[in-house]
Amino acid sequence: DTAVSQTPKYLVTQMGNDKSIKCEQNLGHDTMYWYKQDSKKFLKIMFSYNNKELIINETVPNRFSPKSPDKAHLNLHINSLELGDSAVYFCASSQDRVEANVLTFGAGSRLTVL
Amino acid sequence: GQNIDQPTEMTATEGAIVQINCTYQTSGFNGLFWYQQHAGEAPTFLSYNVLDGLEEKGRFSSFLSRSKGYSYLLLKELQMKDSASYLCAVMDSNYQLIWGAGTKLIIKP
């Protein structure tokens, strides 16, 4: 069983479109995250949800909206896609936000905006 | 600002030892993590240090000096499968992870 699964793995779309990436974890973790990894390989936190409540929202454009129907799911919806949105998006989960907080990552979703 | 520095790329020979350094400047400190990321795959957890000293786990060891804002990951008996990027990340006082850009390690036969 995959611990953190995200779909789709690859997504190619045109500028201006709206797309969603889904994420599910079966680890029973309390906190889920969305990270963006750009071509320079920096991992940047976008959102974090703890028990369905948003607890981090870094300086991400409001075209990006996370939705967490329950603590096992954290989906990412992106409106009006731009070229700069092309990146790999990783979903992750952890038991909690405190010390020794090990993240388990999904396999990543590679988004290409043309 | 918060900053994590690590070399962009390193090359080593199969069977040898390599040390990957990481220096950090963060608002507070609640631990330092090393993750391994193979090309096209997700990062996976390697080690966690919160106290000064060396943590050994098989062929991999991680060292921390909080006073120097410094850590290293030591890989022994290198194998071809160790070719990957190694990411250093520090948890700051708000329990947010600050990530380095990663060090791409190339292993040659």
Lowest mean pLDDT among A16-20, A55-59, B89-93, B97-101: A55-59
Per-residue pLDDT band at A98 (split at 50, 70, 90): low
Neighbours of A88 (CB within 10 A): 20
State which residue of chain A sits closest to B43, comparing Cα positions.
A105
Q: Confidence class of residue A33 from pLDDT cuts 50, 70 and 90?
A: very high
Closest CA to B86 of B6, B31, B15: B6
Q: If you measure CA to CA, which chain B residue comes closest to A47?
A: B96
Instruction: Quote the DSSP letter at residue A97.
Output: S
Give me the residues of chain B with pLDDT under 70, please: none
| Residue B49 host element (H or E) | strand B44-49
Strands A4-7 and B44-49 turn out to be: unpaired
Instruction: Decide if A106 touches B, using CB distance below 8 A.
Output: yes
Cis omega before residue A8 (within 30°)? yes
Are A43 and B87 within 8 A, CB to CB?
A: yes
